[in-house]
Amino acid sequence: MPQVAFVTTCKGRLHHVQQTLPSLVAQAPAEIILVDYGCPDNTGDWVEQHFPDVKVVRVEDDPGFCLPRARNIGAAHSSAPWICFIDADIQISEGWLGWLEQNLQDGCFYQAEPVDGVRNPETFGTVVCPRAAFEAVEGYDEVFRGWGGEDDDLYARLTHCGGVRASHYPAHFVAAISHADDERTTFHAIKSVEVQCLINACYIKVKNELRNYGIRDIPFETRRQLLNCIGDNFKHHKLQPSTFTIRLQARDLVTRDGQRVNLQLEIAKRRRNGFFGARKTTIRILPTRNIHP
pLDDT digits (tens, 9 = 90+) for 1-47: 789 999 999 999 999 999 999 999 999 999 999 999 999 999 999 99
CA gap 88, 39 in Å, rounded: 12
pLDDT digits (tens, 9 = 90+) for 99-150: 999 999 999 999 999 998 889 988 999 999 999 999 999 999 999 988 889 9
* pLDDT score of 286 more than 90: no
Q: What is the mean pLDDT of residues 84-113?
A: 96
CB contact set of 22 (below 8 Å; sequence gap of 6+): 51
* pLDDT score of 274 more than 70: no
* pLDDT score of 290 more than 80: no
234 backbone dihedrals φ, ψ, rounded to 5°: -120, -5
* pLDDT score of 288 more than 60: no
pLDDT of residue 141: 97
Q: What is the mean pLDDT of residues 166-178?
A: 95
CA gap 203, 253 in Å, rounded: 15
CA gap 279, 57 in Å, rounded: 45
DSSP state of 171: G
The pLDDT mean for the chain works out to 90
Q: Does the pTM exceed 0.85? A: yes
For the chain, the domains span: 4-185, 193-292
Query: How far is the CA of 72 from the CAs of 7, 77, 256, in angstroms?
Result: 9, 9, 26
Q: What is the mean pLDDT of residues 219-232?
A: 95
DSSP state of 289: E
CA gap 225, 269 in Å, rounded: 21
Strand ordering across the sheet containing 31-37: 55-59, 31-37, 4-10, 82-85, 127-130, 108-112, 165-169
What own/partner pairs with CB < 8 Å and gap ≥ 24 does 158-162 have?
158/109, 158/129, 158/133, 158/134, 160/211, 161/136, 161/137, 162/133, 162/134, 162/136, 162/137
Name the more confident of 56 and 191.
56
DSSP state of 113: P
Residue 293 — very low, low, confident or very high, per pLDDT cuts 50/70/90? very low
pLDDT of residue 273: 57
Q: Which fold does the domain 4-185 belong to in CATH?
A: Spore Coat Polysaccharide Biosynthesis Protein SpsA; Chain A (3.90.550)
Of the CA atoms within 13 Å of residue 24, those in its CB half-sphere come to: 30
Return the number of other C-beta atoms located less than 10 Å from residue 192's C-beta.
Answer: 20
CA gap 90, 288 in Å, rounded: 47
Q: What is the mean pLDDT of residues 207-224?
A: 93
pLDDT of residue 270: 76
